[in-house]
Amino acid sequence: MNGMAKAVHDAVVKGMPIEAIGTGLDAEQRALLAVAIPASKQVPTVDGPQEAWAVSPAAVATGA
Amino acid sequence: MPDAFSDTVGLCTGAYRRRAERACRKAINLAPPHTGYRRRLLTLVRGWVRASQDAAPLADLPALACYAGGGYPDQAAPIGAAWWLMRLAAKLLDDAEDGDAGERPAELVNLATGLIFAAQLSLDELESWGLSSGEVGRIGRELSLAGLRACTGQHADLLGAERIDTIEPDSWLTIATSKSGGPLGWATWAGATVAGVSPAVADHYREYGAQLGVLLQVADDYDATWRPDAPSDATMSRLSLAGAYGLLVAEGEDRERLEDRLARSRQGDAAAGAEVGRLLTDLGAKVFLLLAGRSARDRAERALAEAGCQGAGAAPLLDLVHRVFPALEHFEG
Protein backbone atom coordinates (compact mmCIF):
# COMPACT_ATOMS: atom_id res chain seq x y z
CA MET A 1 0.00 0.00 0.00
CA ASN A 2 2.97 2.33 0.38
CA GLY A 3 3.46 2.30 -3.39
CA MET A 4 -0.24 2.97 -3.92
CA ALA A 5 -0.10 5.85 -1.44
CA LYS A 6 2.67 7.55 -3.38
CA ALA A 7 0.91 6.88 -6.68
CA VAL A 8 -2.34 8.43 -5.42
CA HIS A 9 -0.45 11.48 -4.19
CA ASP A 10 1.35 11.87 -7.50
CA ALA A 11 -1.88 11.58 -9.47
CA VAL A 12 -4.40 13.42 -7.31
CA VAL A 13 -2.29 16.15 -5.73
CA LYS A 14 0.56 16.64 -8.19
CA GLY A 15 -1.65 15.99 -11.23
CA MET A 16 0.83 13.66 -12.90
CA PRO A 17 -0.56 11.56 -15.79
CA ILE A 18 -1.26 7.96 -14.90
CA GLU A 19 1.25 6.70 -17.48
CA ALA A 20 4.02 8.52 -15.65
CA ILE A 21 3.33 7.09 -12.20
CA GLY A 22 2.81 3.82 -10.46
CA THR A 23 5.88 1.96 -11.62
CA GLY A 24 6.22 -1.05 -9.38
CA LEU A 25 2.47 -1.49 -8.91
CA ASP A 26 0.93 -4.85 -9.73
CA ALA A 27 -1.94 -5.34 -12.19
CA GLU A 28 -4.63 -5.15 -9.49
CA GLN A 29 -3.20 -1.93 -8.13
CA ARG A 30 -2.94 -0.40 -11.60
CA ALA A 31 -6.59 -1.28 -12.29
CA LEU A 32 -7.64 0.34 -9.01
CA LEU A 33 -5.62 3.43 -9.77
CA ALA A 34 -7.31 3.68 -13.16
CA VAL A 35 -10.66 3.80 -11.33
CA ALA A 36 -9.41 6.11 -8.60
CA ILE A 37 -8.07 8.95 -10.70
CA PRO A 38 -11.30 9.88 -12.54
CA ALA A 39 -13.38 9.00 -9.47
CA SER A 40 -11.34 11.31 -7.27
CA LYS A 41 -13.15 14.23 -8.89
CA GLN A 42 -16.40 12.88 -7.37
CA VAL A 43 -14.99 12.68 -3.85
CA PRO A 44 -16.23 15.61 -1.74
CA THR A 45 -13.42 17.83 -0.54
CA VAL A 46 -15.66 19.55 1.98
CA ASP A 47 -16.84 17.39 4.85
CA GLY A 48 -20.52 17.27 5.62
CA PRO A 49 -23.89 15.76 4.75
CA GLN A 50 -22.95 15.30 1.11
CA GLU A 51 -20.76 12.42 2.24
CA ALA A 52 -23.87 10.28 1.80
CA TRP A 53 -23.36 8.00 4.75
CA ALA A 54 -26.23 5.54 4.92
CA VAL A 55 -24.91 3.74 7.96
CA SER A 56 -21.77 4.00 10.03
CA PRO A 57 -19.34 1.08 10.15
CA ALA A 58 -19.65 1.06 13.92
CA ALA A 59 -23.39 0.56 13.59
CA VAL A 60 -22.88 -2.35 11.22
CA ALA A 61 -20.43 -3.87 13.66
CA THR A 62 -22.54 -3.58 16.76
CA GLY A 63 -26.07 -3.37 15.44
CA ALA A 64 -26.44 -0.02 17.24
CA MET B 1 -28.19 -5.20 -4.65
CA PRO B 2 -30.85 -7.41 -3.11
CA ASP B 3 -31.85 -6.83 0.49
CA ALA B 4 -29.40 -9.09 2.29
CA PHE B 5 -31.40 -9.58 5.40
CA SER B 6 -34.51 -10.64 3.61
CA ASP B 7 -37.42 -12.30 5.33
CA THR B 8 -36.19 -15.77 4.44
CA VAL B 9 -32.72 -15.32 5.85
CA GLY B 10 -34.12 -13.31 8.75
CA LEU B 11 -36.37 -16.18 9.81
CA CYS B 12 -33.47 -18.63 9.62
CA THR B 13 -31.12 -16.40 11.59
CA GLY B 14 -33.84 -16.05 14.25
CA ALA B 15 -33.43 -19.74 15.14
CA TYR B 16 -29.65 -19.34 14.95
CA ARG B 17 -29.72 -16.47 17.42
CA ARG B 18 -31.93 -18.31 19.92
CA ARG B 19 -29.73 -21.39 19.81
CA ALA B 20 -26.54 -19.34 19.97
CA GLU B 21 -27.77 -17.51 23.07
CA ARG B 22 -28.69 -20.84 24.66
CA ALA B 23 -25.20 -22.20 23.87
CA CYS B 24 -23.65 -19.10 25.50
CA ARG B 25 -25.67 -19.67 28.68
CA LYS B 26 -24.86 -23.38 28.73
CA ALA B 27 -21.13 -22.71 28.53
CA ILE B 28 -21.20 -19.97 31.17
CA ASN B 29 -23.28 -22.13 33.52
CA LEU B 30 -20.28 -24.46 33.77
CA ALA B 31 -18.67 -21.81 36.00
CA PRO B 32 -19.07 -22.31 39.78
CA PRO B 33 -22.21 -20.54 41.06
CA HIS B 34 -20.68 -18.75 44.04
CA THR B 35 -19.17 -15.21 44.17
CA GLY B 36 -21.67 -13.90 41.62
CA TYR B 37 -19.15 -14.24 38.78
CA ARG B 38 -21.37 -16.53 36.73
CA ARG B 39 -24.36 -14.19 37.21
CA ARG B 40 -22.29 -11.23 36.03
CA LEU B 41 -21.26 -13.09 32.89
CA LEU B 42 -24.85 -14.07 32.12
CA THR B 43 -26.01 -10.48 32.62
CA LEU B 44 -23.30 -9.18 30.30
CA VAL B 45 -24.19 -11.67 27.57
CA ARG B 46 -27.91 -10.94 27.88
CA GLY B 47 -27.24 -7.21 27.45
CA TRP B 48 -24.96 -7.87 24.49
CA VAL B 49 -27.53 -10.05 22.74
CA ARG B 50 -30.31 -7.50 23.31
CA ALA B 51 -28.16 -4.70 21.95
CA SER B 52 -27.41 -6.59 18.77
CA GLN B 53 -30.69 -8.38 18.06
CA ASP B 54 -32.29 -5.72 15.84
CA ALA B 55 -29.76 -5.34 13.08
CA ALA B 56 -26.40 -6.90 13.69
CA PRO B 57 -25.10 -8.46 10.48
CA LEU B 58 -21.75 -9.19 12.09
CA ALA B 59 -23.40 -11.16 14.90
CA ASP B 60 -24.98 -13.32 12.19
CA LEU B 61 -21.76 -13.75 10.20
CA PRO B 62 -21.23 -17.48 10.98
CA ALA B 63 -24.90 -18.20 10.11
CA LEU B 64 -24.66 -16.28 6.84
CA ALA B 65 -21.49 -18.17 5.86
CA CYS B 66 -23.13 -21.47 6.81
CA TYR B 67 -26.18 -20.60 4.71
CA ALA B 68 -23.96 -19.57 1.80
CA GLY B 69 -22.10 -22.88 2.08
CA GLY B 70 -25.34 -24.84 1.71
CA GLY B 71 -26.17 -25.43 5.38
CA TYR B 72 -28.97 -24.32 7.68
CA PRO B 73 -28.07 -21.08 9.51
CA ASP B 74 -28.87 -22.58 12.93
CA GLN B 75 -26.25 -25.30 12.36
CA ALA B 76 -23.77 -22.52 13.06
CA ALA B 77 -25.31 -21.63 16.46
CA PRO B 78 -22.37 -23.01 18.52
CA ILE B 79 -19.98 -21.08 16.25
CA GLY B 80 -22.16 -18.01 16.78
CA ALA B 81 -22.01 -18.48 20.56
CA ALA B 82 -18.20 -18.65 20.50
CA TRP B 83 -18.12 -15.67 18.13
CA TRP B 84 -20.37 -13.54 20.39
CA LEU B 85 -18.45 -14.45 23.54
CA MET B 86 -15.11 -13.66 21.92
CA ARG B 87 -16.36 -10.34 20.52
CA LEU B 88 -17.79 -9.34 23.90
CA ALA B 89 -14.49 -10.29 25.57
CA ALA B 90 -12.57 -8.24 23.00
CA LYS B 91 -14.82 -5.24 23.61
CA LEU B 92 -14.34 -5.42 27.39
CA LEU B 93 -10.57 -5.74 27.00
CA ASP B 94 -10.52 -2.88 24.50
CA ASP B 95 -12.42 -0.70 26.97
CA ALA B 96 -9.92 -1.60 29.70
CA GLU B 97 -6.94 -0.85 27.44
CA ASP B 98 -8.47 2.47 26.36
CA GLY B 99 -9.20 3.52 29.95
CA ASP B 100 -12.97 3.32 29.39
CA ALA B 101 -13.58 0.55 31.92
CA GLY B 102 -14.96 2.74 34.70
CA GLU B 103 -13.82 2.31 38.27
CA ARG B 104 -13.17 -1.45 38.22
CA PRO B 105 -11.00 -2.29 35.21
CA ALA B 106 -9.52 -5.38 36.91
CA GLU B 107 -13.00 -6.88 37.30
CA LEU B 108 -13.68 -6.22 33.62
CA VAL B 109 -10.45 -7.94 32.58
CA ASN B 110 -11.38 -10.99 34.68
CA LEU B 111 -14.86 -11.11 33.15
CA ALA B 112 -13.37 -10.91 29.65
CA THR B 113 -10.96 -13.74 30.46
CA GLY B 114 -13.87 -15.91 31.57
CA LEU B 115 -15.72 -15.17 28.35
CA ILE B 116 -12.74 -16.39 26.29
CA PHE B 117 -12.79 -19.75 28.10
CA ALA B 118 -16.58 -19.95 27.77
CA ALA B 119 -16.22 -19.36 24.02
CA GLN B 120 -14.07 -22.46 23.71
CA LEU B 121 -16.54 -24.49 25.80
CA SER B 122 -19.50 -23.39 23.70
CA LEU B 123 -17.99 -25.20 20.70
CA ASP B 124 -18.63 -28.57 22.44
CA GLU B 125 -22.24 -28.13 21.34
CA LEU B 126 -21.11 -28.84 17.76
CA GLU B 127 -20.94 -32.55 18.57
CA SER B 128 -24.74 -32.59 18.87
CA TRP B 129 -24.79 -31.53 15.19
CA GLY B 130 -22.85 -34.64 14.21
CA LEU B 131 -19.31 -33.25 14.09
CA SER B 132 -16.59 -35.54 15.45
CA SER B 133 -14.54 -34.52 18.45
CA GLY B 134 -11.57 -34.17 16.08
CA GLU B 135 -13.48 -31.69 13.90
CA VAL B 136 -14.65 -29.75 16.94
CA GLY B 137 -11.06 -29.66 18.21
CA ARG B 138 -9.85 -28.27 14.88
CA ILE B 139 -12.45 -25.51 14.93
CA GLY B 140 -11.44 -24.64 18.50
CA ARG B 141 -7.77 -24.60 17.58
CA GLU B 142 -8.47 -22.23 14.68
CA LEU B 143 -10.37 -19.97 17.09
CA SER B 144 -7.34 -19.85 19.38
CA LEU B 145 -5.07 -19.05 16.42
CA ALA B 146 -7.39 -16.25 15.29
CA GLY B 147 -7.37 -14.88 18.85
CA LEU B 148 -3.58 -14.97 18.96
CA ARG B 149 -3.42 -13.11 15.65
CA ALA B 150 -5.81 -10.46 16.97
CA CYS B 151 -3.74 -10.02 20.14
CA THR B 152 -0.57 -9.69 18.05
CA GLY B 153 -2.22 -6.95 15.99
CA GLN B 154 -3.49 -5.20 19.11
CA HIS B 155 0.02 -5.34 20.60
CA ALA B 156 1.45 -3.63 17.52
CA ASP B 157 -1.38 -1.08 17.64
CA LEU B 158 -0.74 -0.23 21.29
CA LEU B 159 3.02 0.09 20.76
CA GLY B 160 2.56 1.98 17.51
CA ALA B 161 0.43 4.60 19.24
CA GLU B 162 3.59 5.63 21.11
CA ARG B 163 5.52 6.24 17.87
CA ILE B 164 2.69 7.20 15.57
CA ASP B 165 4.89 9.03 13.04
CA THR B 166 6.78 5.86 12.15
CA ILE B 167 3.75 3.84 11.01
CA GLU B 168 3.33 3.59 7.23
CA PRO B 169 0.24 2.37 5.33
CA ASP B 170 1.75 -1.11 4.87
CA SER B 171 2.26 -1.49 8.63
CA TRP B 172 -1.25 -0.20 9.32
CA LEU B 173 -2.70 -2.76 6.91
CA THR B 174 -0.75 -5.60 8.57
CA ILE B 175 -2.13 -4.56 11.96
CA ALA B 176 -5.71 -4.29 10.63
CA THR B 177 -5.45 -7.71 8.97
CA SER B 178 -4.34 -9.29 12.25
CA LYS B 179 -6.71 -7.42 14.57
CA SER B 180 -9.89 -7.59 12.59
CA GLY B 181 -9.26 -9.90 9.64
CA GLY B 182 -8.19 -12.84 11.81
CA PRO B 183 -11.35 -13.09 13.94
CA LEU B 184 -13.79 -12.28 11.10
CA GLY B 185 -11.96 -14.78 8.90
CA TRP B 186 -12.48 -17.44 11.58
CA ALA B 187 -16.21 -16.64 11.85
CA THR B 188 -16.83 -17.15 8.13
CA TRP B 189 -14.42 -20.11 7.83
CA ALA B 190 -16.06 -21.91 10.76
CA GLY B 191 -19.60 -21.14 9.53
CA ALA B 192 -18.83 -22.58 6.10
CA THR B 193 -16.99 -25.54 7.64
CA VAL B 194 -19.99 -26.69 9.66
CA ALA B 195 -22.04 -26.47 6.45
CA GLY B 196 -19.76 -29.21 5.11
CA VAL B 197 -17.78 -27.37 2.41
CA SER B 198 -14.32 -28.68 1.51
CA PRO B 199 -11.26 -27.26 3.30
CA ALA B 200 -10.18 -25.44 0.11
CA VAL B 201 -13.59 -23.77 -0.23
CA ALA B 202 -13.64 -22.94 3.50
CA ASP B 203 -10.36 -21.08 3.01
CA HIS B 204 -12.04 -18.83 0.44
CA TYR B 205 -14.73 -18.03 3.03
CA ARG B 206 -11.95 -17.22 5.50
CA GLU B 207 -10.45 -14.81 2.96
CA TYR B 208 -13.87 -13.16 2.53
CA GLY B 209 -14.13 -12.60 6.30
CA ALA B 210 -10.56 -11.33 6.54
CA GLN B 211 -11.16 -8.76 3.81
CA LEU B 212 -14.45 -7.74 5.43
CA GLY B 213 -12.46 -7.12 8.61
CA VAL B 214 -9.96 -4.90 6.79
CA LEU B 215 -12.83 -3.05 5.09
CA LEU B 216 -14.43 -2.36 8.49
CA GLN B 217 -11.16 -0.99 9.82
CA VAL B 218 -10.68 1.29 6.79
CA ALA B 219 -14.29 2.54 7.02
CA ASP B 220 -13.94 3.16 10.76
CA ASP B 221 -10.75 5.09 10.12
CA TYR B 222 -12.44 7.18 7.42
CA ASP B 223 -15.22 7.97 9.87
CA ALA B 224 -12.84 8.90 12.68
CA THR B 225 -10.88 11.23 10.40
CA TRP B 226 -13.68 13.08 8.66
CA ARG B 227 -16.67 12.50 10.93
CA PRO B 228 -15.22 12.68 14.44
CA ASP B 229 -18.72 13.00 15.95
CA ALA B 230 -19.84 9.67 14.45
CA PRO B 231 -19.78 6.45 16.49
CA SER B 232 -16.38 4.91 15.89
CA ASP B 233 -13.78 2.74 17.57
CA ALA B 234 -10.95 4.69 16.00
CA THR B 235 -9.79 8.12 17.11
CA MET B 236 -7.14 10.47 15.81
CA SER B 237 -5.22 9.78 19.02
CA ARG B 238 -4.46 6.28 17.77
CA LEU B 239 -2.89 4.86 14.67
CA SER B 240 -4.82 5.82 11.58
CA LEU B 241 -4.47 4.87 7.94
CA ALA B 242 -5.20 8.45 6.90
CA GLY B 243 -2.47 9.76 9.21
CA ALA B 244 -0.01 7.11 8.04
CA TYR B 245 -0.74 8.09 4.44
CA GLY B 246 -0.34 11.79 5.17
CA LEU B 247 2.98 11.36 6.95
CA LEU B 248 4.29 9.16 4.11
CA VAL B 249 3.50 11.58 1.27
CA ALA B 250 3.69 15.05 2.86
CA GLU B 251 6.88 16.99 2.43
CA GLY B 252 8.44 20.17 3.84
CA GLU B 253 6.06 22.60 5.50
CA ASP B 254 3.05 20.35 4.82
CA ARG B 255 4.62 17.57 6.84
CA GLU B 256 5.65 19.88 9.69
CA ARG B 257 2.12 21.31 9.88
CA LEU B 258 0.56 17.84 9.80
CA GLU B 259 2.87 16.52 12.54
CA ASP B 260 2.09 19.55 14.71
CA ARG B 261 -1.70 19.31 14.29
CA LEU B 262 -1.67 15.53 14.83
CA ALA B 263 0.26 16.02 18.07
CA ARG B 264 -2.17 18.73 19.23
CA SER B 265 -5.14 16.61 18.23
CA ARG B 266 -3.82 13.76 20.38
CA GLN B 267 -3.76 16.18 23.30
CA GLY B 268 -7.49 16.77 22.81
CA ASP B 269 -7.39 19.94 20.68
CA ALA B 270 -10.62 19.63 18.62
CA ALA B 271 -9.73 22.53 16.30
CA ALA B 272 -6.41 20.86 15.49
CA GLY B 273 -8.29 17.61 14.83
CA ALA B 274 -10.55 19.36 12.32
CA GLU B 275 -7.51 20.89 10.64
CA VAL B 276 -5.92 17.43 10.41
CA GLY B 277 -8.97 16.31 8.43
CA ARG B 278 -8.60 19.25 6.01
CA LEU B 279 -4.85 18.78 5.61
CA LEU B 280 -5.31 15.09 4.90
CA THR B 281 -8.04 15.82 2.35
CA ASP B 282 -5.70 18.23 0.55
CA LEU B 283 -3.03 15.52 0.50
CA GLY B 284 -5.40 13.07 -1.23
CA ALA B 285 -6.02 10.88 1.82
CA LYS B 286 -9.75 10.50 1.12
CA VAL B 287 -9.03 9.08 -2.30
CA PHE B 288 -6.42 6.76 -0.80
CA LEU B 289 -8.75 5.42 1.90
CA LEU B 290 -11.54 4.90 -0.61
CA LEU B 291 -9.09 3.05 -2.83
CA ALA B 292 -7.94 0.88 0.09
CA GLY B 293 -11.59 0.13 0.92
CA ARG B 294 -12.41 -0.66 -2.67
CA SER B 295 -9.44 -3.02 -2.81
CA ALA B 296 -10.64 -4.93 0.28
CA ARG B 297 -14.22 -5.07 -1.04
CA ASP B 298 -13.07 -6.36 -4.45
CA ARG B 299 -10.99 -9.06 -2.75
CA ALA B 300 -13.92 -10.11 -0.56
CA GLU B 301 -16.18 -10.41 -3.61
CA ARG B 302 -13.51 -12.36 -5.48
CA ALA B 303 -13.10 -14.77 -2.55
CA LEU B 304 -16.84 -15.52 -2.62
CA ALA B 305 -16.72 -16.12 -6.35
CA GLU B 306 -13.75 -18.48 -5.90
CA ALA B 307 -15.74 -20.33 -3.23
CA GLY B 308 -18.41 -20.93 -5.88
CA CYS B 309 -20.82 -18.96 -3.72
CA GLN B 310 -23.59 -17.37 -5.77
CA GLY B 311 -27.32 -16.67 -5.90
CA ALA B 312 -29.46 -16.41 -2.80
CA GLY B 313 -26.72 -17.81 -0.57
CA ALA B 314 -24.21 -15.19 -1.66
CA ALA B 315 -26.60 -12.23 -1.50
CA PRO B 316 -26.40 -11.50 2.27
CA LEU B 317 -22.60 -11.67 2.28
CA LEU B 318 -22.30 -9.52 -0.84
CA ASP B 319 -24.75 -7.03 0.61
CA LEU B 320 -22.76 -6.84 3.82
CA VAL B 321 -19.55 -5.72 2.09
CA HIS B 322 -21.58 -3.07 0.27
CA ARG B 323 -23.19 -1.75 3.48
CA VAL B 324 -19.99 -1.34 5.45
CA PHE B 325 -18.52 1.63 3.59
CA PRO B 326 -21.24 3.64 1.81
CA ALA B 327 -18.79 6.37 0.75
CA LEU B 328 -17.39 3.84 -1.73
CA GLU B 329 -20.27 4.84 -3.98
CA HIS B 330 -17.91 7.61 -5.11
CA PHE B 331 -15.72 4.88 -6.53
CA GLU B 332 -18.20 2.83 -8.50
CA GLY B 333 -17.15 1.99 -12.00
**By CA distance, what is B324's nearest residue in A?**
A57
Mean pLDDT confidence for B316-332: 83
pLDDT of residue B164: 61
Distance from CA of B103 to the nearest CA of A (A): 24
CB B217 within 8 A of CB B179: yes
pLDDT score at A47: 45
Angle between helices B285-306 and B169-176 (to 10 degrees): 40
Residue B3 has pLDDT above 80, yes or no: no
Mean pLDDT is lowest, of B61-65, B108-112, B224-228, B315-319, for B224-228
| Backbone φ and ψ of B135, nearest 5° | -65, -40
On chain A, the residues whose CB falls within 8 A of the CB of B248 are 2, 5-6
pLDDT above 70: residue B263: yes
Distance CA B329, CA A22 (A): 24
Lowest mean pLDDT among B6-10, B81-85, B132-136, B280-284: B6-10
Nearest-by-CA chain A residue for B299: A28
Cα B321 to Cα B37: distance, rounded to the nearest angstrom: 38
> Can you tell me the distance from the alpha carbon of B187 to that of B313, in angstroms, rounded to the nearest whole number?
16
pLDDT in tens, chain A (64 residues): 898 999 989 888 888 887 777 677 888 888 888 877 777 766 655 444 334 333 444 444 443 3
Average pLDDT over residues B39-58: 82
Average confidence (pLDDT) over B91-116: 87
Q: Write down the pLDDT at residue B32.
A: 93
Q: Do B329 and A51 touch (CB under 8 A)?
A: no
Inter-chain Cβ pairs, chain A and chain B, closer than 8 A: 137
A47 min Cα distance to partner chain B (Å): 7
Q: Is A62 on the interface with B (CB under 8 A)?
A: yes
Q: Which residues of B touch A49 (CB under 8 A)?
A: none
DSSP calls for B196-240: T--HHHHHHHHHHHHHHHHHHHHHHHHHHHH-TTS--S--TTS--
Q: What is the ipTM of this complex?
A: 0.80
Q: Cα-atom radius of gyration of chain B, to the nearest Å?
A: 20
Rounded distance, CA A64 to CA B116, Å?
Answer: 23
**The predicted structure's pLDDT at residue B295:** 92
Average of per-residue pLDDT values in chain B: 87
Is the pLDDT confidence value at B1 over 50? Answer: no
Is A56 in CB contact (< 8 Å) with chain B? yes
Higher pLDDT, A43 or B100: B100
Nearest CB to B59 within list A28, A40, A63:
A63
Contacts of A40 in chain B (CB under 8 A): 284, 287
> Contact B190/B62 with Cβ under 8 angstroms?
yes
pLDDT at B55 over 80: no
The least confident of A35-39, B102-106, B171-175 is A35-39
Look at B249 and A59 and tell me if their CB atoms are within 8 Å. no
Q: Does the pLDDT value for residue B179 go beyond 50?
A: yes
DSSP string, B232-286: -S--TTS--HHHHHHHHH--HHHHHHHHHHHHHHHTT-HHHHHHHHHHHHHTTHH
Q: What per-residue confidence (pLDDT) applies to B292?
A: 93
